[in-house]
Each structure stands twice: as structure tokens, then as C-alpha cells.
Amino acid sequence: MSATLRGSPNNPRLLILGFAWGNLTEKLNMKLEKNLFVAAAVVLQLSGCALFGGAQQTCKVVDPDLAPGVYSGGCEDGLADGYGEVVGAGSYRGDFRAGRKHGKGIKTMPNGDRYAGDFSDDYRHGKGVYVWGDKTSWAGDSYEGEYRRDLRQGWGVYQWGNGDRYEGWWQDDLRMWMSVMEVRRALAAKAGKAQVEKDQKQ
């Protein structure tokens, strides 16, 4: 490296200054290159980009209603993990673990049905509210209660769009008793039958 500055070949102060400046810029350039390399490596790691080729990895969601879809959120080992949001044929926002819905979340199905509540290992599991969408024959109906692996299980309330209501136990997705209107109809039928029998005896 030249120790002189252009235009001042005989000035010793400028010679020293030029030498010092050259050493400083050389050290700064080396440090800058090192820092840039470290920063680039960190950015690549955080963004999920491959070191060679720069192709971004997708963060996989297991649910077929949601994958393939556009996902944003936590990611670990190429799988959705932590809080995230995804839009595919359906949509979901909530907690993930290893690519599966796990924790609290809200899922809208492709047919418009909507569930908000607890998930475990991609299943509705725990407590939640399910509302049937307009594209189904159960449009306007809703269920609020307990689930076990996607099936209504335990205590729950089913509300029909026509105003009928069932509140009670469920087993393997089936209610264990009659709805309010069914009970009323059964009681009315029983009373009617009793009245007929009474009339016949007279």
C-alpha cells in the first residue's frame, strides 16, 4: 500500500496520516465484511432460507383443509409451531405444535362451519363452540360443550336454528336424551294417549 497522498509527496504529516488512514480503512473493511457475513447468516437462519440458492422453506401445516396454504407465524424444523395463521381451503388462527393445531384456536372449514376452542394433536379436543355454516343442511345450528378427538363427548348444549335446544350428556357424538321440543312432544303424546284411554273407559 502506498504511504503517500496524491498531490503531496513530500509532506511527512500527510505521509503519516495517509499510512494511518490506510491501516484504519483496511481494518474497518475486514471487520465490516465479518459483521456482514454474520448478519447475513443470522438473517438466513431466521427467514428459513437455504444457504445455497436462497430458496425459502415452507412451514408445513398438517391439516388438509389448510395445506397447502399461506402460513405466517412460528416455525420449528419446517413445521408450524407456536402461534400462527394460515389460509388454505379453510383458515385457522391459533396455536400449533409440530405442524398440528394444538392449544387454543379458531378454525373456519371450507364449507363455512366455524369452531373456536381447544385443539389437541389436530383434533377438536376439550371445550369449544361449533357453528354450522350457510352451505350445510344444519345452517344456523350450534353446539357448545366438550369434545374428545373431534367427537362431542361429555356435557354440551346443542341449539337448533328453529329454537329447539338440547342440554345434556353426549357419547361418541350422540346425545343421550331428547331435546326440549322432543320432551314436550313426548309429554304431549303421553298426555293425549292417557286422555284417550280415560275417554274409552267412560
Question: Could you report the per-residue pLDDT of 147-187, keeping only the tens digit for each?
Answer: 999 999 999 999 999 999 999 999 999 999 988 888 877 77
Give the whole-angstrom CA distance, residue 142 versus residue 158. Answer: 6
| Architecture category of domain 70-176 in CATH | Single Sheet (2.20)
**Mind listing the pLDDT tens digit for each residue in 30-67?**
554 545 443 433 333 334 333 333 333 489 999 999 98
Peptide bond into 68 cis (omega under 30): yes
Torsion of CA 128, 134, 137, 141, to 10 degrees: 40
135: left (phi over 0), alpha (psi -120 to 50) or beta: alpha
The span from the CA of 99 to the CA of 57, in Å, is 14
The string of pLDDT tens digits covering residues 69-124 is: 999 999 999 999 999 999 999 999 999 999 999 999 999 999 999 999 999 999 99
DSSP β-bridge partners for residue 166: 158
